[in-house]
């Protein structure tokens, strides 16, 4: 299978779709784009010489040789769009979060299995160099027994971010943990394991006019293996992002990954071991007035091509995407006293 043999379509032509389109060109061809906002579809399609559609049904009816559909639509539409593409016999790559209910995630997985198609989920923070190094140290047992983990997510999302957008709505966004911080919750699961129970307090302090859910939360977690965890998150950091960090306290070491988006190894003290010579990571996704997570979509697409061409292992499978959503649901249920 040559590079050009992989034919992609992108559903949803907003900001993150630009990143997808850029990296699709490195492993295949952007055959088609689709968005109900005609100007967005026109702009992206014309830039890459792609066929342009304004409905998913029209696209799937016309494009009979697609290999992969990349889902970049609003969170609440991920499941419907993915299931439709999978039922058309096409592999799917879904942006985070996989969906905004675990039920929908399960339906997506069942549909992929039924049609014998791959369902990839974007979790790009797993590729951040300090994250990779700490995960390897955990897997090698260098930290010994892990006692606790602390996750801090202190970002800024101002009124302009939510203005005239699906973001901030319960139906299409789902919540701050889904849109801003699901990558971080994924790392808790990836590094430590599944969550047994949660306690949480949440509030909307600065966005009462623009969003339908919390802008701040304080969470305590107990993992199935006995590890204790905390999550402190907000989108009220004044004017700009402050920090995205994970600190791990263990029998044989303490480490902290920090920076604005888990891009720096800020602290390490490990018995008989030192993490050295970390490669420089990719820059954060820059959206003008704010930044997102480190942009590792290149590695996601390299893995996708390797899986489809060579039968390699998926870096983030759909089951792991489901687990992230389950943990977020557990946190939100705890905050609502359920």
Delimit the domains of the chain by residue range: 3-121, 126-289
What distance in Å separates the CA atoms of residue 94 and residue 21, rounded to the nearest whole number? 14
Radius of gyration (C-alpha) of the chain in whole angstroms: 20
What contacts 223, CB < 8 A, 6 or more positions away?
192, 193, 194, 195, 196, 229
Residue 57's pLDDT band (boundaries 50, 70, 90)? very high
pLDDT at 20 over 90: yes
Highest CATH level, class, for 126-289: alpha beta
The CATH number of domain 3-121 is 3.30.930.10: no
Torsion, CA 122, CA 123, CA 127, CA 132, rounded to 10: -150
pLDDT tens, position by position, 61-104: 999 999 999 999 999 999 999 999 999 999 999 999 999 999 99
What distance in Å separates the CA atoms of residue 103 and residue 244, rounded to the nearest whole number? 29
How do beta strands 29-34 and 51-53 pair?
parallel
What distance in Å separates the CA atoms of residue 149 and residue 195, rounded to the nearest whole number? 12
User: Averaged over 295-302, what is the pLDDT?
Assistant: 90
Q: Determine which of 64-68, 128-132, 209-213, 295-299 has the lowest per-residue pLDDT on average.
A: 295-299
Q: Determine which of 26-40, 193-207, 261-275, 291-305 has the lowest per-residue pLDDT on average.
A: 291-305
User: Averaged over 324-333, what is the pLDDT?
Assistant: 98
Q: Determine which of 140-154, 241-255, 280-294 has the lowest per-residue pLDDT on average.
A: 280-294
Assess contact for 71 and 81: CB atoms under 8 A: yes
Give the chain's largest Cα–Cα span: 60
Distance linking the first and last C-alpha atoms of the chain: 50
pLDDT at 282 over 80: no
Cα–Cα distances in Å, from 335 out to 218, 312, 321, 328? 9, 40, 22, 11
pLDDT tens, position by position, 155-205: 999 999 999 999 999 999 999 999 999 999 999 999 999 999 999 999 999
Instruction: Provide φ and ψ at 243, rounded to 5°.
Output: -160, 145
Task: Count Cα atoms within 13 angstroms, Cβ side, for 326.
Answer: 16
Assess contact for 71 and 59: CB atoms under 8 A: no
pLDDT at 285 over 70: no
Sheet holding 7-11, edge to edge: 51-53, 29-34, 7-11, 68-71, 91-94, 119-121
Q: What percent of the chain lies above the pLDDT cut of 90?
A: 90
Cα–Cα distances in Å, from 198 out to 22, 180, 222, 271? 39, 19, 6, 31
Instruction: Provide φ and ψ at 68, rounded to 5°.
Output: -140, 135
Q: What is the DSSP string of 35-75?
A: -SSHHHHHHHHHHHT-EEESSHHHHHHH--S-SEEEE-S-G
What distance in Å separates the CA atoms of residue 287 and residue 274, rounded to the nearest whole number? 35
Q: Which residue bears the tokens 């623009």?
A: 210
Q: Please give the distance of CA 165 from its chain centroid, rounded to a whole number.
A: 19
């Amino acid at each position: 299978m040559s590079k050009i043999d992989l034919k992609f379509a992108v559903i949803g032509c907003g900001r993150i779709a630009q990143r997808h389109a850029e990296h699709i060109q490195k492993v295949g061809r952007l055959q088609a784009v689709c968005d109900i906002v005609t100007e967005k579809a026109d702009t992206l399609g014309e830039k890459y010489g792609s066929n342009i559609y304004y409905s998913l049904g029209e696209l799937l009816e016309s494009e009979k040789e697609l290999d992969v559909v990349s889902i970049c639509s609003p969170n609440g539409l991920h499941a419907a769009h993915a299931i439709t593409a999978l039922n058309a016999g096409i592999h799917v790559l879904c942006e985070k979060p996989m969906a905004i209910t675990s039920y929908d995630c399960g339906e997506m997985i069942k549909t992929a299995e039924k049609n014998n198609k791959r369902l990839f989920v974007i979790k790009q923070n797993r590729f951040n160099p300090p994250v990779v190094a700490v995960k390897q140290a955990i897997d090698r047992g260098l930290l010994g027994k892990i006692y606790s983990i602390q996750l801090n997510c202190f970002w800024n999302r101002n009124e302009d971010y939510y203005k005239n957008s699906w973001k901030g709505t319960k139906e299409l966004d789902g919540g701050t943990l889904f849109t801003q911080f699901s990558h971080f919750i994924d790392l808790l699961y990836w590094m430590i394991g599944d969550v047994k129970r949660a306690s949480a307090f949440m509030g909307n302090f600065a966005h009462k006019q623009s969003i339908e859910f919390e802008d701040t939360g304080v969470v305590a977690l107990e993992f199935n293996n006995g590890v204790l965890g905390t999550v402190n998150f907000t989108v009220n950091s004044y004017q700009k992002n402050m920090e995205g960090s994970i600190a791990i306290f263990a029998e044989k070491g303490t480490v902290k990954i920090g920076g604005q988006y888990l891009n720096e190894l800020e602290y390490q003290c490990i018995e008989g071991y030192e993490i050295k010579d970390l490669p420089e990571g990719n820059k954060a996704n820059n959206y003008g007035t704010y930044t997102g997570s480190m942009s590792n979509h290149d590695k996601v697409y390299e893995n996708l091509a390797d899986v489809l061409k060579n039968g390699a292992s998926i870096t983030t499978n759909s089951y792991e995407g489901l687990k992230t959503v389950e943990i977020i649901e557990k946190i939100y249920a705890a905050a609502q006293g359920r």
